[in-house]
Structure 1
Amino acid sequence: MEVIIVPDARAGGEVIANGIADLLWRKPDALLGVATGSTPLPIYEALIAKVQGGSLDASRARVAQLDEYVGLPAGHPESYRSTVLRQVVEPLGLSEDAFLGPDGSAQDVQAACTAYDRALAAAGGVDLQILGIGTDGHIGFNEPCSSLASRTRIKTLTEQTRIDNARFFDNDIDQVPHHVITQGIGTILEARHLVLLATGEGKADAVAATVEGPVAALIPASALQLHPHATVVVDEAAASKLKLADYFRHTYANKPSWQGL
């Protein structure tokens, strides 16, 4: 696992966007796994700026979704599909044909979960998966004590998550779904490269447990320690609880340029 400490969220977004640009140069049709929420926005903003500035051709890239609400009608503006299309796919100039996501409005949701795992495999697998992390160490909607071997499946949202997400639903918690489809930890670990971005002091404990603590279902993100190519990018605030922070700074400062992200 590589840990990169950056000054702020914008710098983190630039580091990761540069890594994605290098990937697309090597493999123009790479499948990028994307996460929603505010944390990854600096990545997408930096990536979009490269495309619009003409320094990056992302026209053959493909995009895969990490999770989705269950029960929202197709096209609902707050579905994660709509969010990814709005924040990533359309600004990059891609069509919906370049997009993969689970069907949260399916009558048979469990079958939709299985179908999505199969679709990811049929697409050749995710080349680079962007991840955020919760204050409790969750990734995707894999809450603490999720199986580290779990596959794409249905999860029940905690009441706090529904309260937090009510701001996207006119501050009406009754509009927030109770369930989501999420890639399981086992599914996430099949991506060739995992890149987690964490910013803010509120994520410091979770980052420290993920990077320096034991691998445990209690901290789902700690499963990244099992991956052969995992990168954790954190700002100074999120890195504030890391015991080996100075070592991580030293290794990144002396990293050969040819090594890339």
Structure 2
Amino acid sequence: MNVRVFASEQEVAAACAAHLAGAIRARPELVLGLPTGRSPINVYRELVAVHQRGELDLSRATTFNLDEFLGLPPDDPTSFRAYMERHLFQHVNLAPERIHFFDGSAPDAEAECARYDAAVNAAGGFDVVLLGIGPNGHIAFNEPGDSLRAASHRVLLSRETRQTLAPLVGDDATRVPMAALTLGVAPLLQAKEVHLIAFGANKAAVVTEMVHGPITPRCPASFLQLHKNVHLWLDKVAARGVQHR
């Protein structure tokens, strides 16, 4: 893993966004996997700023978000689609037909997951995936357990994950839905590049486990050890367990 350490969260976001912008300039037709949550907000803010300076054209890029809450229509303000509209989509020139999302309100969750996997495959898989990491080691919404699933699937969110997401809904974890649809680990591990951002003291232990611990479904992010092109973008607090090994 290529570990990059910065003094602050804002420096992490600026450097990661600059790298992503450069990758898109070099290959405008990139297929991107995009996360939600608190971690990528400043990365998206930086990408918007680069675009608004006239230095980034996203019109030929394709995006797939990694997950969505189950039971929420796209226009629900709590949905991840609404999150992406607020933080990125409304502010850049992504073509609407190139933006892909799980439909959390689909009546048949299994059929929706199959549809989404087929769309990712039709696009040729991911060139670049941007990830956050949960304090329990989840990536996308692949939660810790006895095993991991390769394909997209319905998942019950852990209490820890729902508490982590509470700041997005007024610090009220009861407003976070109980279940979600998520990409499985296969398309993440098959991406040409994986970029993971983490910052803050509450991520230090899991970052250390991801990098130096055993590969185990109890820490889904540990499977990134198997990938040949992973870049970690960390602040010095989150990196404290990996810098001195």
TM-score for the superposition, normalised by structure 1: 0.87
Structure 1 residue 60 displacement after superposition: 1.7
**Contact in 1 for aligned 2:33/2:126 (Cα 8 Å):** yes
Deviations 1:35-82 (A, max 9, x none): 111111121111111111122222222221010001113411111112
Tell me whether 1:89 sits opposite 2:100 in the alignment.
Answer: no
SS of residue paired to 1:129? strand
Which residue of 2 is the match for residue 224 of structure 1? 224
SS of residue paired to 2:187? helix
Tell me whether 1:140 sits opposite 2:175 in the alignment.
Answer: no
Q: 1:81 to 1:146 in 2, by over 3 A?
A: farther
**Contact in 1 for aligned 2:137/2:219 (Cα 8 Å):** yes
Aligned amino acid, residue 131 of structure 1: L
Aligned amino acid, residue 235 of structure 1: D
Structure 1 residue 30 displacement after superposition: 0.9
Structure 1 residue 167 displacement after superposition: 5.0
Which residue of 2 is the match for residue 123 of structure 1? 123
Partners of 2:173 and 2:59 lie apart in 1 by: 38
Output aligned runs, 1:46-195, within 5 Å: 46-145=46-145, 147-166=147-166, 168-169=168-169, 175-195=175-195
Structure 1 residue 168 displacement after superposition: 4.3
Partners of 2:225 and 2:2 lie apart in 1 by: 10
SS of residue paired to 2:91? coil
Structure with bigger gyration radius: 1
Deviations 1:126-151 (A, max 9, x none): 11111111111111111112634521
**Contact in 2 for aligned 1:215/1:223 (Cα 8 Å):** yes
Aligned amino acid, residue 218 of structure 2: L
**Contact in 2 for aligned 1:89/1:95 (Cα 8 Å):** no
**Contact in 1 for aligned 2:60/2:95 (Cα 8 Å):** no
Partners of 1:165 and 1:137 lie apart in 2 by: 14
Aligned amino acid, residue 119 of structure 1: A
Gaps of 5+ in 2: none
Q: 1:22 to 1:174 in 2, by over 3 A?
A: closer
SS of residue paired to 1:73? coil
Partners of 1:49 and 1:172 lie apart in 2 by: 30
Q: What is the aligned-residue RMSD (CA, Å)? A: 1.9
Structure 1 residue 169 displacement after superposition: 4.5
Partners of 1:25 and 1:164 lie apart in 2 by: 34
Partners of 2:171 and 2:136 lie apart in 1 by: 23
Identical columns (%): 36
Which residue of 1 is the match for residue 32 of structure 2? 32
Partners of 1:146 and 1:66 lie apart in 2 by: 21
**Contact in 1 for aligned 2:38/2:168 (Cα 8 Å):** no
Which residue of 2 is the match for residue 3 of structure 1? 3
Q: 1:234 to 1:80 in 2, by over 3 A?
A: same
Partners of 1:174 and 1:206 lie apart in 2 by: 25
Tell me whether 1:207 sits opposite 2:207 in the alignment.
Answer: yes
Aligned amino acid, residue 205 of structure 2: D
Aligned amino acid, residue 90 of structure 1: Q
Q: 1:175 to 1:200 in 2, by over 3 A?
A: closer
Structure 1 residue 4 displacement after superposition: 0.8
Partners of 2:201 and 2:169 lie apart in 1 by: 27
Gaps of 5+ in 1: 248-261
Deviations 1:93-143 (A, max 9, x none): 224212011111111101101110110111121111111111111111111
SS of residue paired to 1:90? helix
Partners of 1:205 and 1:21 lie apart in 2 by: 30
